[in-house]
């Protein structure tokens, strides 16, 4: 890990140069801490050569230059080079980067869960994005502490569970001391025991960090451009709308006391919101504490409560996830993390869209080609305004799939529009909920167009919809801070294909190569296992959208098989073995047989067998393992040999009845005759 964060080089002036490599997270050397450490190693500060951005020290006539991005030693032994590398790495890494990475992963997962309608998992990831984000801020705060005010706290850096959770008990002691917290120095309550909760020390209590972490934004709350000012309003409204009626109503639950304690604390927070000055420090930290505590409650309900779907409204989950996502952006800026990749108005995440999203607004049909689900993250989003603006754009109407205008009004929780894509067989249906969740369904306009389904290049269609609907229409309706998150599209034509079939369809060269390898292997097996009574004719028909096999194709296969068969005559039974990778197999047996008899003069008995090949069966052949397919062919051959033996038994049974009375004393049993005859056959 250290090597990826700190690079070590040298030049003709400096024996060792340490430089920060992790540009993405904006990491810097804590120059004051490094200075203090080098003083314990015998280095002294050269005040005359130091400035605001560079500290210069010396030892035994050799200098070291300490900057935020680079540290240069004129002389340093190999032993000390590695020692200092490890020590400096420990100064800059701590757990700050680990927590920030976890924060990004959690909020990304929460968005994925939201799009896929997995609400329980969503609230869990949403909470952990907040907790890991605050943990990252705490680590960063301690890292930047140049006055050693938190020296005792830093002794516990190796404690894996340094920051506790936003529990009701921790919130209670915080609210009991909230007035004094706002009067004291910002770090005061990290160092005394007043915010201790159970085994959780004051500096382990996550609520005790709210004031110091957001102190600079609190004192500049009125400043233009203060992101906290905007997000706090959303947090306040979310807390105001929390329904406490469903909390702590069942005393039989293990979490009853837990919920009662949270309910009392949230009532205090609501009281502060209603009565205290909006811009005061007390108001701000009360809102933040209430928001974090209820996020913890949501996570508890999602993980453990069987009545989660009843107690928590779908719309509230979406609202809290969106607000939390916007709050994470403030945390990322605090951590100096490069957020350029998150500034795109439209973010495509690596998660499959969900057919279950807004399924009450859109009815699936056989004409569907593609579905994309997503969410509009925009605090200014209003469903009715959004629909009105979209409706003014070219091609949009309120007509639904049945070409009817649905019964909707300004209180509707979800609305579906349609957009006609001019001079094409496609139509787009856009369903949007009042919480910003949406789905785009691309379908054929008419059943008569269904024939072109297999020839549609869905990759280009998907890109067109992205540009036409999302970029040209949706994106232009966003506010400056708004964004759109979408999952990967569901391509219905691909739903019926296996993974191997999809791979083959990426290029015709792959299809030809695979079919050649498989055909050659199967033809060799068929040739080897055919007998003087049974000709196996394999017909490999893989990776096809249609499975109809006609007479000329069978004639060609038969001609090839006969080339390896000496003394072919009408007594040899012909078995066509169709090797296919779908259940959609169709062969017009009667017509094909008639064609072979009339066109080729075939007088033999003709039979058909079908072997369905799954991905794992095909992969075995491609890897050179033919045991599985060989076993399937042997089973087919054995079935014909058994039938042949049965016919012999039937004949012998008739003869035995006729001759039985003539030679009673010299009769051989039917069973013995059958076995003798079967044993005399060449069984391959």
Q: Which residues pair with 417 in a beta bridge?
A: 430
Instruction: From 161, 307, 282, 163, select the one nearest 221 (Cα to Cα).
Output: 282
pLDDT of 6 reads: 85
DSSP 500-540: HHHHHTT-HHHHHHHHHHHHHHHHHHHHHH--SSEEEEEEE
Query: Can you state the angle between helices 168-176 and 281-304, rounded to 10 degrees?
Result: 170
CB within 8 A of 298, min separation 6: which ones? 123, 126, 127, 312, 317, 320
Rounded to whole angstroms, the Cα distance separating 313 from 319 reads 10
- Between CA 268 and CA 293 the distance in angstroms is 13
Tokens matching residue 607: 């039979």
What does the DSSP assignment read for 574-619? Answer: EEEEEEESSS--EE-HHHHHHHHHHHH---S-EEEEEEE--HHHHH
Helix and strand totals (H; E) in the chain: 26, 19
Q: Which stretches of the chain drop beneath a pLDDT of 50?
A: 1-3, 24-25, 155, 157-161, 645-684
pLDDT at position 39, please? 94
pLDDT in the model for residue 343: 58
- What confidence score (pLDDT) does residue 213 get? 93
pLDDT digits (tens, 9 = 90+) for 615-655: 888 888 888 888 888 888 888 888 876 555 444 444 444 44
**pLDDT of 11:** 94
Nearest of 633, 597, 628 to residue 614 by alpha carbon = 628
C-alpha to C-alpha distance for 57 and 70, rounded to whole angstroms: 14
Q: Is the dihedral of CA 506, 509, 510, 511 positive or negative?
A: positive
- Res 407: pLDDT: 87
Contact partners, residue 89, CB within 8 Å, separation at least 6: 1, 2, 5, 6
* Model pTM above 0.75: no
Q: Which residue from 104, 495, 511 is spatially nearest to 328, judged by alpha carbons?
A: 104
Q: What is the predicted pLDDT for the residue at 149?
A: 56
Q: List Cβ neighbours of 175 (8 Å cut-off, separation of 6 or more).
A: 265, 268, 269, 286, 289
> What CA–CA distance (Å, rounded) separates 236 from 526?
75
Question: Which is it for the CA torsion 289, 291, 297, 300, positive or negative?
Answer: negative
User: What's residue 299's pLDDT?
Assistant: 92
pLDDT in tens, 176-228: 999 999 998 888 888 888 898 888 888 899 999 999 999 988 888 777 667 78
10 Å CB burial of residue 28 (0-12, 13-18, 19+) is middle
* pLDDT value of position 431: 94
Q: Which pair of tokens denotes residue 317? A: 């989950």
Pairing of strands 70-73, 346-352: unpaired
Looking up tokens 């599209």 gives 489
Strand order from edge to edge, sheet including 62-66? 6-9, 16-20, 70-73, 62-66, 55-59, 44-45
Q: What is the pLDDT of residue 66?
A: 96
What confidence score (pLDDT) does residue 151 get? 55
pLDDT at 159: 45
């Amino acid at each position: 890990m250290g090597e990826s964060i700190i690079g070590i080089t040298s030049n003709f002036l400096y024996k060792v140069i340490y430089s920060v490599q992790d540009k993405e997270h904006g990491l810097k050397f804590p120059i004051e801490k490094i200075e203090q450490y080098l003083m314990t190693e015998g280095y002294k500060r050269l005040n005359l050569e130091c400035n605001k951005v560079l500290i210069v020290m010396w030892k035994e006539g050799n200098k070291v230059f300490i900057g935020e991005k680079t540290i240069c030693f004129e002389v340093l032994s190999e032993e000390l080079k590695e020692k200092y590398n490890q020590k400096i790495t420990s100064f800059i890494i701590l757990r700050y980067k680990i927590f920030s990475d976890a924060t990004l992963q959690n909020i990304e997962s929460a968005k994925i869960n939201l799009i896929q309608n997995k609400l329980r998992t969503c609230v869990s990831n949403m909470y952990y994005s907040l907790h890991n984000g605050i943990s990252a801020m705490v680590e960063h705060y301690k890292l930047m502490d140049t006055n050693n005010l938190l020296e005792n706290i830093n002794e516990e850096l190796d404690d894996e569970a340094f920051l506790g959770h936003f529990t009701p008990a921790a919130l209670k002691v915080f609210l009991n001391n909230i007035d004094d917290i706002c009067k004291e120095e910002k770090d005061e309550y990290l160092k005394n025991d007043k915010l201790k909760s159970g085994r959780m020390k004051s500096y382990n209590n996550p609520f005790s960090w709210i004031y110091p972490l957001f102190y600079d934004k609190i004192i500049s709350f009125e400043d233009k451009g203060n992101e906290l000012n905007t997000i706090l309003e959303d947090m306040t409204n979310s807390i105001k709308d929390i329904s406490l009626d469903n909390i702590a109503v069942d005393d039989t639950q293990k979490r009853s006391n837990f919920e009662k304690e949270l309910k009392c604390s949230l009532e205090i927070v609501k009281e502060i919101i209603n009565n205290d000055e909006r811009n005061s420090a007390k108001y701000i930290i009360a809102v933040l504490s209430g928001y974090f505590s209820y996020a913890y409650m949501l996570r508890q309900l999602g993980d453990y409560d069987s009545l989660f779907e009843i107690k928590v409204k779908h719309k509230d989950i979406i609202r809290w996830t969106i607000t939390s996502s916007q709050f994470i952006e403030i945390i990322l800026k605090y951590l100096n993390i490069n957020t350029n990749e998150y500034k795109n108005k439209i973010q495509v995440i690596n998660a499959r869209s969900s057919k279950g999203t807004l399924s009450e607004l859109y009815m699936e049909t056989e004409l569907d080609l593609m579905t994309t689900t997503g969410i509009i993250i925009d605090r200014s989003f209003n469903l009715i305004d959004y629909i009105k603006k979209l409706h003014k754009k070219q091609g949009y109407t309120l007509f639904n799939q049945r070409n009817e205008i649905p019964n909707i009004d300004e209180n509707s929780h979800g609305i579906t529009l349609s957009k006609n894509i001019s001079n094409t067989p496609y139509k787009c249906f856009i369903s949007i909920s009042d919480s910003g969740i949406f789905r785009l369904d691309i379908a054929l306009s008419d059943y008569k167009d269904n024939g072109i389904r297999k020839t549609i290049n869905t990759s280009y269609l998907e890109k067109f919809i992205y540009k036409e609907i999302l970029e040209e229409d949706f994106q232009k309706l966003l506010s400056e801070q708004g964004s759109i998150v979408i999952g990967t599209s569901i391509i219905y034509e691909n739903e019926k294909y296996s993974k191997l079939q999809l791979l083959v369809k990426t290029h015709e060269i792959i299809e030809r190569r695979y079919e050649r390898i498989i055909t050659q292997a199967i033809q060799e097996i068929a040739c080897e296992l055919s007998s003087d009574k049974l000709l196996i004719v394999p017909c490999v028909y893989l990776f096809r959208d249609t499975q109809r096999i006609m007479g000329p194709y069978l004639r060609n296969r038969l001609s090839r098989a006969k080339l390896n068969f000496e003394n072919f005559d009408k007594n040899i039974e012909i078995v066509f073995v169709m090797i296919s990778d779908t259940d959609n197999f169709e062969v017009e047996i009667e017509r094909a047989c008639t064609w072979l008899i009339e066109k080729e003069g075939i007088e033999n008995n003709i039979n058909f067998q079908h072997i369905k090949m799954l991905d794992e069966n095909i992969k075995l052949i491609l890897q050179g393992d033919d045991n599985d397919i060989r076993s399937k062919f042997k089973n087919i051959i054995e079935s014909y040999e058994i039938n042949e033996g049965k016919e012999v038994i039937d004949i012998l049974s008739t003869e035995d009845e006729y001759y039985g009375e003539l030679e009673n004393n010299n009769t051989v049993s039917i069973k013995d005759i059958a076995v003798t005859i079967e044993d005399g056959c060449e069984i391959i």
